Chains A and B, each alone.
Chain A
């Protein structure tokens, strides 16, 4: 069945179809719709889940950690400051190897206060060890929720699903709805090997001395290493069942492209429009959407980009004192294997619209003979 739903609700319906057992959340704009609809679904029996109204995001993730350790499929959603407040607990979920799924609606971080989109909230959590998947449409968002649980439960690692505030979270699109009866076949009920169980007791979160700590960290990295294959396999299983797959990355008209624009989130859709325009003009350009950011799909990215003559990365984020964060990742993925120029562009911070015109400007600069500043080029700054 197809329905017109908002991006936030696409997350909620994905959670409903995934038969989550515990939802714990704290309100924050622009995420609130996600959990509001879920609380309604819990209240009217559409989901057999318990909804915990906690007193902060830190507690929201702590409650998910508890629920997941007790053997339940657990979910929460948040944005910006909420995600940052969760930071300690994000580390905890990874270290405890709990397959929690979190939806983060990308919102700029204050001060100054902003409720509009950019990626600095989720990307500042880059190194905590959560898998991160950036969604582009409501359909992809809904479909990614059960995928995320399946990936998480197989790897025993938490997964963060990420989407742009307003441009996606509040936009209504047609979505082919997935239902739990069908999804159950794809994502069977969660059965952990170890859980908090009075009949089979274990100690959780205990002290690990220097003799053991490093091995546990090594195992987390091993899980991440396996992650790319697991994500690919889960995605193709999903595609087999539902007819829709998304991949780790999504190249668009890249085969003979001389210049490739690297994007993520909703910017990817706008960029494709510009690519078509430029192709009509005979310019050999393509675009590459990065869907899976952690683990970073180095080989897949290299495969596509190494054929180009120039790479331009559009970052809706900034690592102050360094560069755009996707730019850094791309540069490190290609390091030592090719000498094509990689140029970084910062655009759209704090919700400033990245229109086709903006992308056109970036493309023109990148394609042009003029040698731009390699690492960091700010687009549209009024200073």
Chain B
């Protein structure tokens, strides 16, 4: 059995996540990916903002930085530029990264800076008790959408692709082995890499949307997730109500800190 203990701060447990929350599953998948790649705990930094997902750094025994709401990517950009040798992982959520921190999200992707972003998408502000987020589906209920949400949601992976990220993948906490693989690939990628992790929030989202039982939310994930390979062969009709997981974009393009280093080299006065 895999030993997680060397990677966690045992003194900070039990964790604060609710029963049925997917966030712990992501944490474990991340730890296994780090272990498989042999990432040094001393040379890995985790940066988060605010929200349920952003509590993750408190539990991982690496260098961690819990920052302000929405700004994790800005802090992480500073960390990475100051010391490009560090592995920098950003843990964030749909509210943190695409509402209050939306600007940082698109600009970090555009800049293609070498950060690995795990964005837990649970379609809601969980920590403050279930307000609409930028990914709450149209018509879904939230404490600030008593008659159903009026606003169309963001497609987070699509947003990152459009903004210029070099690696974008979507995973989910039902298909855990696949999630672990996607996180591993994202960690290895040199450039802005995003793994959007679809993760259930039975407490704040499920209860208001006829999915109060965590098992029901997991079953719904199982039944709506389609691999990108399968997705390609499906008709529009068959795609309705489903979403795809897997690698959505994986290209090579100049990475910001590497380009910066080259510029410094180029501008260095000759001896």
Binding site for B on A (CB under 8 A): 26-29, 32, 35-36, 39-40, 43-44, 51, 53, 55-57, 81, 85, 110-111, 113
Q: How far is the CA of A231 from the CA of B128 in the complex (A)?
A: 34
CB closest chain-A residue, reference B70: A56
Query: Is B147 part of the binding interface, using a Cβ–Cβ cutoff of 8 Å?
Result: yes
Q: Is A36 touching B144 in the complex (CB atoms < 8 A)?
A: yes
Which one, B33-41, B113-121, B129-137, is touching chain A?
B129-137
Q: Which chain B residue has the least Cβ–Cβ distance from A27?
A: B128
**A58 closest partner in B (C-beta):** B100
Distance A282 CA – B134 CA, assembled complex (angstroms)? 62
| A36 CB to nearest B CB, Å | 5
From A26, A29, A39, A111, contact of B146 by CB (8 A)? A39
* A51→B69 contact, CB < 8 A: no
The CA-CA distance from A35 to B56 in the complex, in Å, is 28
> Which residues of the other chain, B, contact A113 by a CB distance below 8 angstroms?
66
Check A55/B99 contact, CB under 8 A, given A36-B144, A81-B68: yes
Q: Which of B125, B143, B151 has the most CB of A within 10 A?
A: B143
Among B166-180, those with CB < 8 Å from A are: none
Give the secondary structure class of B's interface: loop
B127 within 8 A of A: yes
Partner among B68, B100, B145 whose Cβ is within 8 Å of the Cβ of A26:
B100
Asked if A53 meets B68 with Cβ closer than 8 Å, knowing A26-B100, A27-B129, A29-B127, the reply is: no
| A83 → chain B closest CB, angstroms | 12
A27 vs B93: C-alpha distance when bound (angstroms): 14
B102 at the interface (CB under 8 A from A): yes
Contact partner, A32, options B69, B102, B128, B134, Cβ 8 Å: B128
Are B129 and A36 within 8 A (Cβ)?
yes
CB distance from A233 to the nearest CB of B (A): 37
Which 7 pairs between the two chains have the least Cβ-Cβ distance?
A: A43-B146, A27-B128, A55-B99, A56-B100, A39-B144, A27-B131, A32-B128
Q: Scoring B residues 243 to 268 as 1 if CB is less than 8 Å from chain A, else 0, what string do you get?
A: 00000000000000000000000000
Of chain A, the residue at the smallest CB distance from B100 is: A56
Alpha-carbon separation in the docked complex, A71 to B144 (Å):
24
Query: How distant is the Cα of A28 from the Cα of B50 in the complex, in angstroms?
Result: 10
B70 / chain A contacts, CB cutoff of 8 Å:
56
Q: B138 → chain A, closest Cβ, in Å?
A: 13
Partner of B143, one of A29, A36, A57, A85: A36
Beta-carbon contacts under 8 Å, B149-170 to A: 151
A101 to chain B, nearest CB (A): 20
Question: A55 with B102: in contact, given A27-B131, A29-B127 (CB under 8 Å)?
Answer: yes
Kindly state the separation between the CA atoms of A39 and B127 in the bound complex, as whole angstroms: 18
Q: Name the residue of chain B whose CB is nearest to the CB of A37.
A: B143
A-B contact count (CB 8 A): 51
What's the Cα separation between A39 and B128 when bound, in Å? 14
Minimum CB–CB distance from A289 to chain B (whole Å) comes to 31
Pick the contact of A53 from B50, B66, B69, B132 — CB < 8 Å? B132
For the complex, what is the distance from the CA of A56 to the CA of B143, rounded to whole Å?
17
CB of B143 within 8 A of CB of A39, answer: yes
Cα–Cα, bound, A111→B58 (Å) = 14
- Apart from the given pairs A28-B128, A36-B143, A111-B66, 15 other A-B contacts in the complex at a CB distance below 8 Å: A27-B129, A27-B131, A29-B128, A32-B129, A32-B131, A39-B144, A39-B145, A39-B146, A53-B151, A55-B102, A56-B69, A56-B70, A81-B68, A81-B69, A113-B66
Residues of the B chain whose Cβ atoms lie less than 8 Å from the Cβ of A110? 68
Chain A residues near B151: list those with CB within 8 A. Answer: 53
For residues 77 through 135 of chain B, which have their beta carbon under 8 Å from a beta carbon of chain A? 99-100, 102, 125, 127-129, 131-132, 134
A39 and B145 CA atoms in complex are apart in Å by: 8
Most-contacted residue by chain B among A28, A51, A53, A57 (CB, 10 A): A53
Pairwise interchain contact A44-B131, C-beta atoms closer than 8 A: no
Give the residues in chain B near A44, CB-CB below 8 Å. 146
Across the interface, name the chain B residue whose C-beta is closest to A35.
Answer: B144
What residues of chain A lie closer than 8 Å to B134, measured between beta carbons?
55
- Min CB gap A338→B, angstroms: 43
State A39–B130 Cα separation when bound (angstroms). Answer: 12
State the CA gap A39–B150 with chains docked (Å): 14
How distant is the Cα of A35 from the Cα of B128 in the complex, in angstroms?
11
| Assembly CA distance A35 to B146 (angstroms) | 13
Cross-chain pairs A/B with CB under 8 angstroms, 29 sampled? A26-B99, A26-B100, A27-B125, A27-B144, A29-B127, A29-B128, A36-B129, A36-B131, A36-B143, A36-B144, A39-B144, A39-B145, A40-B143, A40-B146, A43-B147, A53-B131, A53-B144, A53-B145, A53-B151, A55-B100, A55-B102, A55-B134, A56-B69, A56-B70, A56-B99, A81-B68, A110-B68, A111-B66, A113-B66
Give CA–CA (A36, B143) in the complex, Å. 6
Query: How many angstroms from the CA of A51 to the CA of B66 in the assembled complex?
Result: 31
Q: Which residues of A lie under 8 Å from residue B131 when comparing CB positions? A: 27, 32, 36, 53
In the bound complex, residues from chain B placing their C-beta under 8 Å from that of A111 are: 66
User: Interface centre among A29, A39, A44, A51, by most B CB within 10 Å?
Assistant: A39
Question: With A32-B129, A36-B131 in contact, is A51–B68 under 8 Å at CB?
Answer: no
What residues of chain A lie closer than 8 Å to B50, measured between beta carbons?
81
> How many whole Å from A343's CB to the nearest CB in chain B?
35
> A268 to chain B: closest CB distance in Å?
29
Q: Across the interface, which residues of A come within 8 angstroms of B146, CB to CB? A: 39-40, 43-44
- What are the residues of chain B within 8 A of A81 when measuring CB–CB? 50, 68-69
Per the bound structure, the CA–CA distance linking A26 and B100 in Å amounts to 9
A36 vs B127: C-alpha distance when bound (angstroms): 14
**B68 and chain A: residue at smallest CB distance:** A81
| Smallest CB separation, A64 vs chain B (Å) | 16
Closest chain-B Cβ to A305's Cβ sits at a distance in Å of 39
